[in-house]
Amino acid sequence: MSDTTYLAEGPRTAIRPFTHADADEFTARARESRELHRPWLFPPVGPDAYAAYAGALIEDPTKAGFLVCERHGAAEGRTDGAIAGFININNIVIGGFRCGALGYGAFAHATRRGLMSEGLGLVIGHAFGPLGLHRLEANVQPDNTGSIALVRRAGFRLEGFSPDFLFIDGAWRDHERWAITTEMR
């Protein structure tokens, strides 16, 4: 995918918006990553579910979806664009609040390589730059140690605990509230 236009690039990753054309790769990677994602996350694994999911991220102005893509041979100007994960900003509110809530997931082939950490840094820069946000929040289930480690590495601070916060996998789940603001970068 050497003709891909990225919104931001790092040494090993780049971010770009979701497209409908990403359905096959995204859903294949989601199916391969089911064990990794459960019980925290349920990304779309079929074409119809992906079309609805991506459609909302593409069309709804209160959402912004980003694919974290691997960059190989960056020094030589080559990229392969393989999708390593995704980071979405949901519930974007502008005006005096200028905040959004993060949702994210890595794909199994890309775990423990630092790709999501780099990708999250790129998304934060884009959110606080071109999107004009002041604050990002991440609500994480307390037992999801990998997700907590990701936001902690990115500089988020723990702000509180929300019992029965989100309905996931048939039950209301407790979440820790993590946040970062432009002043913290």
| Per-residue pLDDT reduced to its tens digit, 45-59 | 999 999 999 999 999
Which H helix or E strand runs over 57? helix 47-59
Residue 174 CB burial class (10 angstroms; 0-12, 13-18, ≥19) = middle
Q: What is the pLDDT of residues 155-178, one digit of tens each?
A: 999 999 999 999 999 999 999 999
CA distance 21 to 134: 31
pLDDT above 90 coverage of the chain, percent: 83
**Which pLDDT band, with edges at 50, 70 and 90, does 1 fall under?**
very low
Q: Pick the closest to residue 101 from 48, 140, 58, 129 (CA basis).
A: 140
Indicate whether 2 pLDDT > 80.
Answer: no
Q: Percentage of residues in the chain with pLDDT exceeding 70? A: 95
For residues 72 and 148, the model is more confident at: 148
